[in-house]
């Protein structure tokens, strides 16, 4: 059972109907994270649930939302323009529902990339930073930095939370990207974690320990930012 009260919402997207969303605002929240899901699972996936709850315990509100394809039960992700429109609609809703709270936008994997693309195209109103939980730098087995080219157009602080065993972001490629972005980019590596932030048993840690580290790093970055 969730520790914090969930508020179910519906967010209208221009030309694409409406999508479901979930809002958690803990007492004395100090920021709101517009939290987009990954390509293969929606906003109620276990990782999304656990991350939202863990962030709430650290005073960070979250607005999760479905991309239109996920809302329709499709397995094929939306075209970038539609996905970015969904991000913009969610950011606008977060600003309306959480007035006065600094907004952080980003998400898990696909959600992180669509959010960063949206910001690179035109600034997301009210957003003061972007946070990526497993930025998908390239497809598994196809190392490349082409997916990071748009990041150069972003002028907001960016947080990359990445596992050292992430097959969608080889470190020898990701680290130079972050260095190239300069002082606005922060990379926090989570030892032994894969793209789903799972760690092997031999690491001596479990998924809860990883989530604690991930959300602590997120909250510390938000505090420094705001």
* DSSP secondary structure letters along 18-74: EEEEEEE--TT--EEEEEE--SSS-TTSHHHHHHHHHHHHTTEEEEEE--HHHHTT-
Is residue 25 domain-resident?
Answer: yes
> By three-state DSSP, how is residue 76 classified?
coil
Question: Is residue 212 a part of any domain in this protein?
Answer: yes
CATH number, domain containing residue 202: 3.40.50.1820
Q: Is residue 2 part of a domain?
A: no
Residues 6+ apart with CB under 8 A from 215: 51, 54, 55, 57, 58, 60
Q: Give 96-139 pLDDT, tens digit per residue.
A: 999 999 999 999 999 999 999 999 999 999 999 999 999 999 99
Q: Is residue 203 part of a domain?
A: yes
Give the pTM: 0.95
Cα dist from 205 to 45, 132, 175, 192, 213, whole Å? 21, 22, 24, 9, 11
Domain assignment present for residue 101? The answer is: yes
Range of 173's domain?
Answer: 7-225
How far, in Å, CA of 101 to CA of 154, rounded? 21
- Please tell me the predicted confidence (pLDDT) of residue 2: 55
């Amino acid at each position: 059972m969730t520790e914090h009260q969930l508020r179910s919402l519906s967010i209208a997207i221009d030309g694409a109907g409406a999508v479901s969303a979930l809002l958690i605002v803990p007492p004395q929240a100090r920021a709101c994270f517009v939290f987009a899901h990954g390509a293969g699972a929606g906003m109620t996936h276990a990782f999304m649930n656990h991350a939202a709850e863990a962030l709430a315990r650290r005073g960070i509100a979250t607005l999760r939302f479905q991309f239109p394809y996920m809302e329709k039960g499709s397995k094929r992700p939306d075209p970038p323009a539609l996905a970015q429109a969904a991000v913009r609609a969610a950011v606008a809703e977060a600003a309306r529902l959480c007035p006065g709270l600094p907004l952080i936008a980003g998400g898990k994997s696909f959600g992180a990339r669509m959010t960063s693309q949206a910001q690179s195209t035109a600034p997301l109103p009210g957003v003061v930073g972007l946070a990526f939980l497993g930025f998908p730098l390239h497809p598994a087995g196809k190392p490349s930095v082409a997916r990071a080219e748009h990041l150069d157009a972003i002028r907001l602080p960016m947080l990359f939370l990445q596992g050292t065993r992430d097959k969608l972001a080889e470190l020898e490629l990701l680290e130079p990207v972050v260095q190239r972005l300069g002082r606005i980019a922060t990379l926090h590596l989570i030892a032994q974690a894969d793209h789903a932030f799972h760690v092997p048993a031999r690491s001596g840690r479990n998924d809860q320990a990883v989530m604690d580290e991930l959300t602590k790093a997120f909250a510390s970055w938000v505090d420094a930012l705001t």
